[in-house]
Amino acid sequence: MDALHTDLYQLTMAAGYFHRGMASRVATCELFVRRLPRHRRFLVAMGLERAVRYLEGLRFTDEQIAYLRGLPALADAMTPAFCSYLRDFRFRGDVWAVPEGTVFFPNEPLLRVTAPIVEAQLIETFALSAVNYATAIASKAARIVLAAGDAGVMEFGTRRAHPEAAVDAARAAYAVGCVGTSNVEAGMRFGIPVLGTAAHMWTMAHPTEEAAFEGYVAVFPNAAILLIDTYDTLVGAARAAAVARDKLKGVRIDSGDLAALSVAVRKILDDAGCASAKIVASGDLNEHRIAELRRAGAPIDLYGVGTDLVTSIDAPSLGGVYKLVEIGGAEAGAGGERTPIAKFSEGKATLPGAHQVHRFRDPAGK
The pLDDT value given to residue 94: 95
In a domain, 228, yes or no: yes
2 part of a folded domain: no
- The backbone torsions φ and ψ at residue 53, rounded to the nearest 5 degrees and listed phi first, read -60, -35
Residues 344, 342: Cα–Cα separation, whole Å: 7
Q: Looking at the structure, do residues 170 and 251 belong to the same domain, yes or no?
A: yes
Q: Which helix (H) or strand (E) holds 165?
A: helix 163-175
- Do 55 and 82 have their domain in common? yes
Residues 321 and 306 reside in one and the same domain: no
Examine the domain organization and report whether 162 and 190 are in the same domain. Answer: yes
Q: Is residue 366 situated within a structural domain?
A: no
What pLDDT, on the 0 to 100 scale, is given for residue 332? 47
Residue 348 belongs to some domain of the structure: no
Residues 179, 297: one domain? yes
Provide the whole-model pTM.
0.93
CATH of the domain at 294: 3.20.20.70
Instruction: Provide the domain count of the chain.
Output: 2
353 — pLDDT class (breaks 50, 70, 90): confident
> Do the domain assignments include residue 293?
yes
User: By residue range, what is the domain housing residue 74?
Assistant: 8-135+317-340
pLDDT in tens, 229-276: 999 999 999 999 999 999 999 999 999 999 999 999 999 999 999 999
CB 131 within 8 A of CB 31: yes
Pairing of strands 248-253, 278-282: parallel
The answer to whether residues 103 and 219 belong to one domain is no
CATH value at residue 93: 3.20.140.10
Q: What is the pLDDT of residues 294-351, one digit of tens each?
A: 999 999 999 999 999 999 999 999 999 999 999 986 554 555 678 888 888 888 888 8
Q: What is the pLDDT of residues 16-34, one digit of tens each?
A: 999 999 999 999 999 999 9
Cβ contacts of 167 within 8 Å, gap of 6 or more: 183, 185, 186, 189
